[in-house]
Structure 1
Amino acid sequence: MRLLVVGKLNGQLSVAVKMAMNAGAKVSHVESAEQATNALRAGQGADLLMVDYALDIASLIAANEAERMRVPVVACGVDADPMRAAAAIKAGAKEFIPLPPDAELIAAVLAAVADDDKPMVVRDPAMEQVIKLADQVAPSEASILITGESGSGKEVMARYVHGKSRRAKAPFISVNCAAIPENLLESELFGHEKGAFTGAMARRIGKFEEADGGTLLLDEISEMDVRLQAKLLRAIQEREIDRVGGSRPVKVNIRILATSNRDLAQAVKDGTFREDLLYRLNVVNLRLPPLRERPADVISLCEFFVKKYSAANGMAEKPISAEAKRRLIAHRWPGNVRELENAMHRAVLLSTGAEIEEFAIRLPDGQQMASAPSPDAAVARGAQMAADAVSRTFVGSTVAEVEQKLIIDTLEHCLGNRTHAANILGISIRTLRNKLKEYGDAGIPVPPPQGGIGAAA
């Protein structure tokens, strides 16, 4: 985590800085609020500001937000004056740290405000296969497209890939393309020069330059306007960007990761996403299965969230009751891991017994989660659903036709990437190529290969 300390480094603040560094923070320092805004504007980057409460915190936050630099603030001060501490919180600070500092308090505040504690919790074989592929490609410089339903953990996967890469000690910068208005996203990505447009009071370094040497995550890339996609494509290809209003290109050294919860191949057909940009981003595809397709992960994730939110709320950690576990596993979780996390946060707060009871597991509308079906009924229903699916899909087909459909469908899912498709199918790349040659010779359409790792036919 990157921590920017704002204020004069007297004795107690210096001690707090050392404690923050011991807690894993990368610390930089400026003395005034104006210098803090200038540092962020210049691309220094910070995940958290620790500000002396003697400074004008309200003005600092307002100046940063005027340029869309939203960095959380914690206030600190010696011999804490309750009135001034309360004023700092009212001004927008998330927390207050009294000085002389306490090492455990500083570590807890850093963790709570930065919310970096998002490990990859995996038990299900479906996700273990994705992790295996992620481990294989993380050390490379290849662009990776991470796909999956909303709430399935795409940003967590992106951070995992960054952490396993050769750039792990460099910045990880995330831009939510869906959350930033179209007319502001270009400046957010590429930066701007003073006077480039109304309100551009000074040069602003964009996320590409802020991520220099590290990883840039383009979250929900499918929401980017087609016109801006052309400029993004050039930046990825040439590894240089043009600031808005700039007169010369700026070289950048970054690795690109992108996420999408939409079918980008369909978006290409619809004309809302550039095909050449898709090829550049999708050198490797990591598809995250929805939570309903990885039931073995559910209880492990629940236990992780119970531990996290018990600590965050100062409550004793409780085990999850057997009936609650049955209901958790049986639920389909349309909101995926994000919905599960919120449900367990509520459960920690609502539970009244020695265990987290089933009635504490509530849906977003406040209703209790439905009872789980009996094991025999669940098995029978699952078997019937599987049999119906097979009947609808394969009955009346030969084994060769079923094999052909499976291979072609898997290759389409991988957008032509032969190596990825072979890994999913559990066959060698040579076997896959031989099959595809047979299909091609027979006049059967085969998804064309893309450029990048393992794409050649």
Structure 2
Amino acid sequence: MRLLIVGSLSGQIGAATKIAMDRGAKVTHASSIDMALAILRGGSGADLALCDIVLDIGTLVRGLAAEHICTPVVACGVGSDARKAVDAIRAGAKEYLPLPPDPELIAAVFAAVADESHQMIAEDEAMLSVIGLADQVAPSEASILLTGESGTGKEVLARYVHKKSNRADKPFISVNCAAIPENLLESELFGHEKGAFTGAIARRVGKFEEANSGTLLLDEISEMDARLQAKLLRAIQEREIDRVGGTRPVKIDIRIIATSNRDLAEEVRKGTFREDLLYRLNVVNLRLPSLRERPKDILALSRHFARKYAEANGVAFRPIGSATERLLVQHPWPGNVRELENTIHRAVLLASGNEIGPEAIRLPDGKQVGSSTFAAGTTDLPTPVRSAVESAAAVTRGLVGRTVADVERDLILDTLDHCLGNRTHAANILGISIRTLRNKLREYSQAGLAIPGPGEQRAVG
């Protein structure tokens, strides 16, 4: 992991830096916010910025946003001042890390924010077959297209391929093409020169240059507009890029991995995706099966998430009961691994007793997973299960008479409220793209509804 320390290295921050380095992080230091922004513009890159609370966290977050640099910020400070922690989160920090540093807490924060826990967990033959193909092609220089439904783990597999490749000790840079507005994606990918457009206050190195000698993941590439597809095709063919506003091409040496949850051949037929670009990307295609196509993985992943979130939340580990396992395997999991992970996280928090029972397995709307299977004969169920079924039925009855649009709106806004305005977290929980979420929120805002910003909750009145 690449860590940028912003602030003084003396005292406790220095100790936190040493812990991070001992755990394999590559650390860069900036004494000020201006220096931090200059380092990130220059292409050194960082997976995470750890910023001293004595500095202006808001200035750093706004500076990153203005320059379209997608690096999460964690604030840190001595003591346990709750007000400082709240202010840091409201200013845009992802987490607040109290000092003096605790090695396990630092590791947990790094894993949660930078999402370093990319483990390939697979026991089902369908997924093991895909991993076998990934092992076979990883050492090559071939471009790889990863396809499959949303939430199946395409980015996890991309990181796995990188770690198995000859570029494993070089950068792995990921760009979510769906999460970045179209008018900004070109600059994000190729960089820009000072004055290239309004707001371009300095030269900015793009993701292609940042990934030089390593691997560049183009996540959800089907969301890229046709004009930019042409520039991407040239970059792949010629192994050089042009910065926005630049006068000379820049040579690059990278491996491309792309993902899509759409059928790109169908997108070619529709005219929304270039056929020649598809051929360049699709040298090797790895299709990740949906979770319902690999039932053994449902149980393996559930056990992994149960232990992971028990540790993360500081609660006692409870095994998953046999009745619960049957329930999990029977569910279709339209959101795949992402949906399963969120469901088990909830279950860890809701469970009581010595194991995770069926009553703890609930969907985001509160409805119990598989409750429809208990429509008849609920009186024969244990009291906790029967209570959960009745509660889920009451939730369902409350939706009768309402339009789908109204229910969708309330679910989106309630989820955003739960996430304190964090769009990315809300989109992940809802199982939709960040672009879809933004479009919905723009629609609601135009209708006069209050939309919570980062670190905010809707006013209740």
TM-score category of the 2 structures, normalised to the smaller one: 0.7 to 0.9
User: Which deviates further from its counterpart, 88-97 or 157-166?
Assistant: 88-97
Contact in 2 for aligned 1:327/1:372 (Cα 8 Å): no
Which residue is equivalent to 1:437?
Answer: none
User: Is 2:77 aligned against 1:77?
Assistant: yes
Question: Which whole-Å CA distance do the structure 2 matches of 1:313 and 1:98 have between them?
Answer: 17
Report the secondary structure of 1:76's partner residue.
Answer: strand
Question: Which whole-Å CA distance do the structure 2 matches of 1:84 and 1:221 have between them?
Answer: 39
Which residue is equivalent to 1:175?
Answer: 175
User: Which deviates further from its counterpart, 67-76 or 225-234?
Assistant: 67-76
Distance 1:276 1:88, change over 3 A: same
Query: Which structure 2 residues correspond to residues 4-23 of structure 1 after superposition, within 5 A?
Result: 4-23=4-23
Deviations 1:410-436 (A, max 9, x none): xxxxxxxxxxxxxxxxxxxxxxxxxxx
Which residue is equivalent to 1:242?
Answer: 242
Q: Which amino acid aligns with 1:222?
A: S
Distance 1:332 1:223, change over 3 A: same
Which residue is equivalent to 1:418?
Answer: none
Deviations 1:19-70 (A, max 9, x none): 1111221111110011111111111111111111111111111111111223
TM-score (norm 1): 0.79
Question: Which whole-Å CA distance do the structure 1 matches of 2:144 and 2:121 have between them?
Answer: 20
Question: Which whole-Å CA distance do the structure 1 matches of 2:141 and 2:189 have between them?
Answer: 20
Gaps of 5+ in 1: 375-457
Question: Which whole-Å CA distance do the structure 2 matches of 1:154 and 1:291 have between them?
Answer: 12
User: Is 2:60 aligned against 1:60?
Assistant: yes
Contact in 2 for aligned 1:327/1:371 (Cα 8 Å): no
Q: Which amino acid aligns with 1:8?
A: S
Distance 1:355 1:138, change over 3 A: same
Report the secondary structure of 1:216's partner residue.
Answer: strand
Query: Which structure 2 residues correspond to residues 106-145 of structure 1 after superposition, within 5 A?
Result: 106-145=106-145
Which residue is equivalent to 2:458?
Answer: none
Query: Which structure 2 residues correspond to residues 190-339 of structure 1 after superposition, within 5 A?
Result: 190-339=190-339
Distance apart, 1:252 and its partner CA: 1.0
Distance apart, 1:313 and its partner CA: 1.1
Query: Which structure 2 residues correspond to residues 329-368 of structure 1 after superposition, within 5 A?
Result: 329-368=329-368
Question: Which whole-Å CA distance do the structure 2 matches of 1:67 and 1:97 have between them?
Answer: 25
Deviations 1:139-163 (A, max 9, x none): 1111000000111111111111111
Question: Which whole-Å CA distance do the structure 2 matches of 1:344 and 1:5 have between them?
Answer: 34
Distance 1:21 1:296, change over 3 A: same
Q: Which protein shows a greater Rg? A: 1
User: Which deviates further from its counterpart, 76-85 or 94-103?
Assistant: 76-85
Distance apart, 1:109 and its partner CA: 2.1
Distance apart, 1:104 and its partner CA: 2.3
Question: Which whole-Å CA distance do the structure 2 matches of 1:90 and 1:373 have between them?
Answer: 43
Deviations 1:259-283 (A, max 9, x none): 0111111111221111111111011
Contact in 1 for aligned 2:66/2:199 (Cα 8 Å): no
User: Which deviates further from its counterpart, 201-210 or 80-89?
Assistant: 80-89
Distance apart, 1:82 and its partner CA: 5.4
Report the secondary structure of 2:222's partner residue.
Answer: helix
Which residue is equivalent to 1:162?
Answer: 162
Identity of aligned residues (%): 68
Report the secondary structure of 1:174's partner residue.
Answer: strand
Q: Which amino acid aligns with 1:198?
A: T
Contact in 1 for aligned 2:151/2:339 (Cα 8 Å): yes
Which residue is equivalent to 2:189?
Answer: 189
Deviations 1:66-90 (A, max 9, x none): 1122322222234565554554344
Report the secondary structure of 2:353's partner residue.
Answer: coil
Distance 1:261 1:52, change over 3 A: same
Which residue is equivalent to 1:424?
Answer: none
- Aligned-pair RMSD on alpha carbons? 1.7
